[in-house]
Amino acid sequence: MDQIQYFLHRHRMAPGSVSYDALTQEIFLQMERGLAGDGTSIPMLPSYVYAGGAPALGIPAAVIDAGGTNFRSALVTLTKQGPEVEALTVTPMPGTDGEATWEAFIARCADGVEPLLARTDRIGICFSFSFTPTPDGDGQVMQITKEVRISGAAGRPICTDLAAELARRGHENLRFALINDTLAVHLGVAAGAGLAPGNCMGMVCGTGSNVCCAVDSRRITKYAVPDRGAMLINTESGFFTGVAQGDFDRALDASTADPGHALSEKMVSGAYLGELCRLTLQGAAREGLFSKAGAKRILQMDTLTSNEADGLSGPLEKLSKADKAVADALIDAVFDRSAKVMCCTLCAVLRLTGQGMRDVFHIGAEGSLFQKSARFRPALERHMHVYARKCLARRYEFVSCENTTLLGAACAVLL
């Protein structure tokens, strides 16, 4: 274990290389600058969706959830008895199994909702990638990340392009609303659990990572937004570049489609953690932390998914007991550090919003890493207990519900 800890610290991959106070403070400052329009790597994008709104009940909405892994469509109706989800379809996200064009993606969106338009004229879109929102509910694509490859996407107006494709197919006079996945989690958890949107936030820890929160619109000086109370802000926290990278973070970043960008997301999210673990394990193999047979097997690995790393499965299954113990300790450190970075992000939001001092602040949590990883959620809860609860004296609760992003997309177009 001493050798493992020495290796992790020397390569700046240990959880201890992340300072609770310093990282939380830097993320907080970057968020404040994002609201003011100063130079920052955290954009703090206004959603033009206000925390005081209430979605209409009993009106069906066609919804699209374009995520980092899956593409889903469904018909959602919010009722007093709870949400109803019908005609749910799930297919791979375009661009996950080879490059797709923007036109092909828009056609796939049209295919998803067209069968539902006999029952509604409202379409809510959850788009899990960065875009610049506009006051009319549309948004222009900024960047496609999470290793999803869609050519020609940058700058495209998502709702406008989908409306044009549906009009070409004979469907006109439709109403659209566009939000990202983190806002969808925020709205969806509030609707599903009966919470006030102003007293909760959205957190996505899955293929990608991001947080959303409600901020007094008077603080959003970067944009001329109407003063209607608290507005939901898509922080795009995964874009944060102020986190200290380790040697294997830099190696991973250099191999991605967008080197130098979204550095926090590359340290936290499921799209990258498997590869980060592979690079860390191979570094340890080259430095003699494994047996000769174990090192040979590890150095031959071309890929390692986050799920395989999490469960010591796939190419790691045939390691000896001793080599598995070393791999387990290294992987645990990578996941633990990931959770610590996310803890600091959440604590920066608690500071920014002033929440959790009196009432319990609800953190709407979504994503495969948070919900399915055997390592990530326990580590995140441990860090939040140590820092948010004990050091910052904040009260909070993680909340999840079914079909969160679908509900959130429906809420957006039914507000």
For the CA atoms of 385, 390, 393, 398, the dihedral, rounded to the nearest 10 degrees, stands at: 10
- Mean pLDDT of successive 10-residue segments in the chain (415 residues)? 95 96 97 92 91 89 92 95 93 91 96 97 93 90 82 95 98 95 91 83 91 94 86 94 95 92 93 96 98 97 97 96 98 98 98 93 93 97 97 94 92 91
Give the DSSP H/E element, type plus range, for residue 124. Answer: strand 122-127
Strand intervals (E) in 130-260: 130-133, 139-143, 150-151, 175-179, 200-205, 209-216, 230-234
What is the number of alpha carbons within 13 Å of residue 56 lying toward its C-beta? 8
The span from the CA of 279 to the CA of 384, in Å, is 28
The number of residues in the chain equals: 415
Query: Over the stretch 388-407, which tens digit does the pLDDT of each residue have?
Result: 999 999 999 999 888 999 99
The span from the CA of 89 to the CA of 116, in Å, is 12
Query: Over the stretch 55-97, which tens digit does the pLDDT of each residue have?
Result: 899 999 999 999 888 999 999 999 988 889 999 999 999 998 8
In the numeric block, the tokens 């749910």 are attached to 88
The span from the CA of 340 to the CA of 289, in Å, is 25
Question: Which residues neighbour 181 within 8 Å (Cβ) at sequence distance 6 or greater?
Answer: 65, 67, 126, 127, 128, 204, 208, 210, 366, 405
**For residue 415, what pLDDT is reported?**
85
**For residue 143, what pLDDT is reported?**
80
User: Would residue 410 be called left, alpha or beta, if left means φ above 0 and alpha means ψ between -120 and 50 degrees?
Assistant: alpha
Query: Over the stretch 221-254, which tens digit does the pLDDT of each residue have?
Result: 988 888 888 999 999 999 999 999 999 999 999 9
The span from the CA of 50 to the CA of 227, in Å, is 10
**For residue 146, what pLDDT is reported?**
64
